[in-house]
Amino acid sequence: MIQTPTYALYVGMIRAYGGEMVNFHLDESKSWGLPADELQRSYKEAKEKGINPKAIVIINPGNPTGSVLSKQNL
């Protein structure tokens, strides 16, 4: 699972290692925060497609947004 927007290098690495991208979207209106319900939505959607997520990437500070997630949000 990887956040959107994301750093392009991570997309290439996931594909190079045979992984399947599962995107979750950061909330721009909340300083690019990570809403828990969005993470759950993304996970559920992946499972419905037969994808079994095994890892999550949270880029902090964010690239390309430059945002820094709070301890509470993490």
Compute φ and ψ for 16, nearest 5 degrees.
Answer: -60, -35
Is residue 40 a contact partner of residue 22, using CB atoms and an 8 Å limit?
A: no
Interval 15-49: pLDDT, tens: 999 999 999 999 999 888 889 999 999 999 999 99
Residue 57: per-residue pLDDT: 85
Residue 58: per-residue pLDDT: 84
pTM exceeding 0.85: no
Query: 50 lies in which domain range?
Result: 1-74
Residue 8: per-residue pLDDT: 84
Q: What is the tally of structural domains in the chain?
A: 1
Half-sphere exposure of 65 (CA within 13 A, CB side): 22
pLDDT band at 73 (very low <50, low <70, confident <90, very high): confident
Report the distance separating Cα 53 and Cα 37, nearest Å.
16
